[in-house]
Structures are given as C-alpha cells and as structure tokens.
Amino acid sequence: MIGLIYHVFGKEVVAGNNLLLEEFHAPKKTIKLRMAPLVLWGTLLTHLVGGSAGREGTAVQMAAALSDQFSLLKKFTAENRKILISCGIAAGFSSVFGTPLAGAVFALEVTIIGRVNYDAILPVFVSAIAAFLISEHLLAIFHYSHTLYLIDAAPDMTAVGFLLVVMAGILFGLTASVFAKSAHYFSHIFNRVVQYAPFRPMIGGAILALIFLIPGSEKFQGLGVPEIQKYFQFSAAPWDFAVKLLLTTFTLGAGFKGGEVTPLFFIGAALGSALSLFLPLPIWLLAALGFVGVFSGATNTPIACTLMGLELFGIQPGVYIALTCVVAYIFSGHTGIYSSQKPGMTKIFSNDSPKK
C-alpha cells in the first residue's frame, strides 16, 4: 500500500526530508500539500506492521509542507521561503520530541553544515516554542506526555572521565557514519534491483516479516521507546545497537516511511548502555550520551543535539553531553542521513571539501 500510494500520488514528495533541503538550497516550487497526509499515513502503516522507523521525519515533513503553503500568497521571496521551510522543520521537531530549543537550532543548523541563517532566528524560535506549547496542551487533554528517561546525578568531570567520554564520542560518531552509509546503500540497492517502486516495500516487508518471526526480535520493531528507557537502567546486549541499525536502514531503504531520529536514539542508547560493561561510567549517563551522540553524528547538528540533551536530561550532565556531541560530529565525517545537506565548512577529520 505504501509503495503504490507514493507511486501514484507522491512521486513529487517521495524524497521526504531531502526535498525540504533541496527546496531550501534551490527554491523552485511550493512543496505539495499532499506530502503531509501521505507521510502521516505511510508512517502509521509502517509502525502498524512493525517497521523500524521513527516519527520526527513525519512531523517535520508535515509541518514544512503546511508552512510552505504560505508562499502561495506571492508575497514571499526565495529567501522568505527558506525561512518558512525552516519554521516548519523547527515546529515539527519541537512538537514531536518536546524540545523547543533543540527544535529551533536543529532547523537552523541542519540546512548547511557549519553555518546559521541569522535572519531566520526569530521566526524559527517563535515557531518551535509555539508548536511545543500547543502539542503540550493537546497531549495533556488526552492524558499523554512526552517520553521521560530515568536519570541520576552525573559524576564530576575528571581527566579520566574526559578521556572516557572522548573515546565513547568517537565510537558514537563512527556508528553514526555506518548508519548513514548503510541507509544510502540499502536505498541504492533497492532502487537498482527493483525497478518498479511499489514492489520495493513489498519485497522488503516480506523479508522483514520473516526476520520478525525470530524470537526476541519484537523489541527491535517500531519506535522501540520502551527498550530505550530500559537501556538507561540495564546494560544492553553488545549486539542490540547493530541489529537495530541494520533493521532501520533496511526498512527505510526498502521504501517504508518514517524518520531516522528515534531509531538513532535507540542505537545510541543501546551502544552507550553496552559500553557501561567496559567503561567505568554510570549506565544512564552513557545511554544518554549515546542517545544524543549518534544523532549528532548522523545529522551533523552538534549544537542542536547538545541542547536536546540539556532539555531531556538536565543541565547537570551538560559538559558530558556537549563534549560527546562535538566529538561524535567530528568523527562521523560529512556523510549524514540527509544526502541533500550541504557543508559550509570542512570538518577537522574529513577529506571532503565544502560545496559552494
């Protein structure tokens, strides 16, 4: 159903988040409003059958598609459209995770690596905060809340602790790079081998259904939020992060819909939790560092990820969080989950040159 619906109605919006970035860098025409319902139902169907995908991509695409409709008023220049798209990205991210500061900075940071559009700061922050307040109000009405994670007091930073966090950050960055490259690889394989687009998720789904017959595989299905919460309290199996990485990149590469961020949280928290078997740091702290560190490396947004860590886990472990996000970002290379993301600077440990 997902493959057929997008093949018939969604060819112009199938690129998802990359379409938003493409329109940001080279504005051509207003994003089709159909992106919002298509990605919503595509994601719901993906989660219904246990597909390993996230939800932030859905929220971001819905919000950006809606905000870009204002450009039809003919009063917006190409630069104004960029701000509209950024506002949509900020609103979607902020509302789905309950992190308005991270949502705003993510929208400013994700478009061009290493550069921020200061003209967009005020409208982007207003959009992120307004979306957060509205989503909080709606969640309260239906007696829901954003996900909470069990944390404790972080130990004081020492020279040994500094080295341990740097080591962990390097591993998180390398894992983010593997995730991004795996996602691009599976997408390339499906596009090359299966010419008829609707068959891609059908074939991929059949393979996933067989995998999910394996006992114990159910914890890797869908968002996996309950498992993420467990990783803050108990050490993960050393292979959990790798299994989730492969299942997520395969799911999205096959053409299922959703986001990458929540699975990245799962992968990072699982890896961090498993590292507690080897590194003398609290389980919850390593899980939290992996949570934001892998995300930072995969999206090239270290500042936004640092703010997200502060909003979710408090100011006390802030030094650990900031150090992890920066190290993971540096060691992930320029390869990220968004192929249309453009670098505005060259990373210290990257051979890539920034594109003009």
Q: Are residues 50 and 194 in the same domain?
A: no
Q: Look at residues 87, 111, 141 and tell me which one is the last residue of a structural domain.
A: 141
| Number of structural domains found in the chain | 2
352 inside domain = no
pLDDT number for residue 355: 46
Please check whether residue 87 lies inside any domain of the structure.
yes
> What's the CA gap between 115 and 48, in Å, rounded?
38
Q: Is 193 among the domain residues?
A: yes
* Nearest Cα residue to 20 out of 339, 336, 335, 322: 339
Q: Determine, yes or no, domain membership for 181.
A: yes
Q: Are 69 and 276 in contact (CB under 8 A)?
A: no
Do residue 132 and residue 206 come from a single domain?
no
With b meaning 16 or more CB within 10 Å and e meaning fewer, what string describes 193-209? Answer: ebeebbbbbbbbbeebe
Same domain as 72, residue 164: no
For residues 94 and 192, state if they share a domain. no
Last-in-domain residue among 141, 167, 196: 141
183 shares its domain with 125 = no
128 & 164 share domain: no
- 122: domain range? 2-141
Cβ proximity of 148 and 270 under 8 Å: no
Same domain, 202 and 265: yes
pLDDT number for residue 168: 97
284 and 256 share a domain? yes
Residues of the chain with pLDDT under 70: 344-356
Residue 153 lies in a domain: no
Write out pLDDT tens, residues 247-304.
999 999 999 998 899 999 999 999 999 999 999 999 999 999 999 999 999 999 999 9
Which contiguous run of DSSP H or E holds residue 24? helix 17-25
Residue 50 included in any domain: yes
Question: Coil, strand, or helix at residue 179?
Answer: helix
Cα–Cα distance between 29 and 12 in angstroms, integer?
A: 11
Q: Are residues 233 and 318 in the same domain?
A: yes
